[in-house]
C-alpha cells in the first residue's frame, strides 16, 4: 500500500470514529434528557395525583358529614308520623273532653 492509501484509510477511519463518537454522544445526551424529563414529569404527576386525592378525600368527608342513610331517614320519618298521629289523637280527645265539659256547664246553667 502506498502512503496515499494509508492516508485515505486513516482519514476514513477517523471519519468513522468521529461519526460513531457523535452518535454515542447524541444518544447519551438524549438518554439524559429523557431521564431528566421523566423524573420531572413523574414528580409533576405525583403532585397532581396528591392534589386530586386531597380534593377527593375532602369532598368525601364533606359528603359523609352531611349524608343521611336512607334507613335512618325512613326511621326518623316514621317516628315523626307516629308523633304527629299521637298529637292528633290527644287533640281529638282533648276536644271531646272540652265539649263534654262545656255541655255539662250549659246543662247546669240552663237547668237552674
The band of 4, judged by pLDDT with boundaries at 50, 70 and 90, is confident
Q: What is the pLDDT of residues 70-105, one digit of tens each?
A: 898 999 999 999 999 999 999 999 999 999 999 999
Residue 61 is given by DSSP the state H
- Cα 38 to Cα 44: distance, rounded to the nearest angstrom: 10
How many domains in the chain? 1
Residue 61 covered by a domain: yes
Q: Confirm whether 101 is domain-assigned.
A: yes
Residue 108 covered by a domain: yes
What's the confidence (pLDDT) of residue 112? Answer: 58
Spatial distance between the Cα atoms of 52 and 60, rounded to a whole number of angstroms: 12
Q: Domain of 98?
A: 48-112
Q: Is the pLDDT of residue 26 over 90?
A: yes
pLDDT band at 44 (very low <50, low <70, confident <90, very high): confident
Amino acid at each position: 500500500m502506498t502512503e496515499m492509501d494509508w492516508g485515505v484509510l486513516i482519514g476514513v477511519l477517523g471519519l468513522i470514529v468521529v461519526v460513531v463518537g457523535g452518535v454515542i454522544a447524541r444518544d447519551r445526551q438524549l438518554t439524559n434528557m429523557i431521564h431528566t424529563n421523566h423524573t420531572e414529569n413523574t414528580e409533576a404527576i405525583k403532585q397532581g395525583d396528591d392534589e386530586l386525592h386531597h380534593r377527593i378525600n375532602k369532598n368525601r368527608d364533606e359528603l359523609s358529614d352531611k349524608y343521611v342513610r336512607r334507613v335512618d331517614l325512613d326511621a326518623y320519618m316514621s317516628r315523626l308520623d307516629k308523633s304527629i298521629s299521637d298529637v292528633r289523637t290527644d287533640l281529638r280527645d282533648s276536644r271531646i273532653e272540652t265539649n263534654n265539659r262545656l255541655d255539662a256547664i250549659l246543662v247546669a246553667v240552663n237547668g237552674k
